[in-house]
Amino acid sequence: MTGNGFAQHRAALREGRYVRVVNYHNTPESMADALRHELAGYAASFDSVTLEHLDAFYATGRWPLERPGFIPVFYEGYLNNATVAAPICDELGLVAWFPIITRFLDCPVPEQRAFAEAHDITLVEEELSRDRLAMTWDDVAEIGQRHVVVPHTGSHEEIGRVRTAEDVEREIVRPRRDVERATGREAPAFVWLRGTEYGTSPVQDGWVRDTGYRYQISNTMIQRIA
């Protein structure tokens, strides 16, 4: 829709040619019933959007679904995203996107709480007594068979703090390699901390593009990287 005027956007909304993206973070067991109820409501009104649907739209300009699209997005790589959110999406036939902080998963279990607190990863009270807070790479491999797993940087990093070749390797390049190794599939998209959009900085944009990502997810859009 980028580049269209207000009239075109209004027509698209009226005709159901849009995607509803809903962002989640922690999904502890205590909210499983509420999450299931909410997602079931979306499943009743929207069509689940797959990566193939997005690719087809950007390739042809034609919307491939009969109803508006829906994408649930579960951020950070919390263990409860794997144990609670993913199974609920499976029950409802929804394809979800999981942007994961790869170094959170790599962090030794006894150090995960400290890592989370140092990297702006919010934890919920009911899980603080648990050993593991992040999903495992085996969880990523399992989720990646039905859903889309992408890097949310290596360390939950802001765009302006990635400046050196070492930063690029740690936050952009290695996370893609690690996700693809775990899932056996392409990691097609990248997400910065705070949802910075593509086009904000030519330097960082170039690093993301050169790494091979095809999409960038921001707070307001899913952008196709030329």
Say which residue the tokens 């079931």 belong to: 40
pLDDT band at 12 (very low <50, low <70, confident <90, very high): low
- List the CATH number of the domain containing 139: 3.20.20.370
- The 10s digit of each residue's pLDDT in 75-110 is 999 999 999 999 999 999 999 999 999 999 999 999
pLDDT 10s digits, 199-211: 999 999 999 999 9
The domain of 138 spans: 6-224
> Residue 3's pLDDT band (boundaries 50, 70, 90)?
low
Alpha-helix runs per DSSP H in 93-221:
102-106, 112-118, 137-143, 165-168, 174-183, 202-211
DSSP code of 159? G
1 assigned to some structural domain: no
pTM: 0.92
* Inside any domain, residue 74: yes
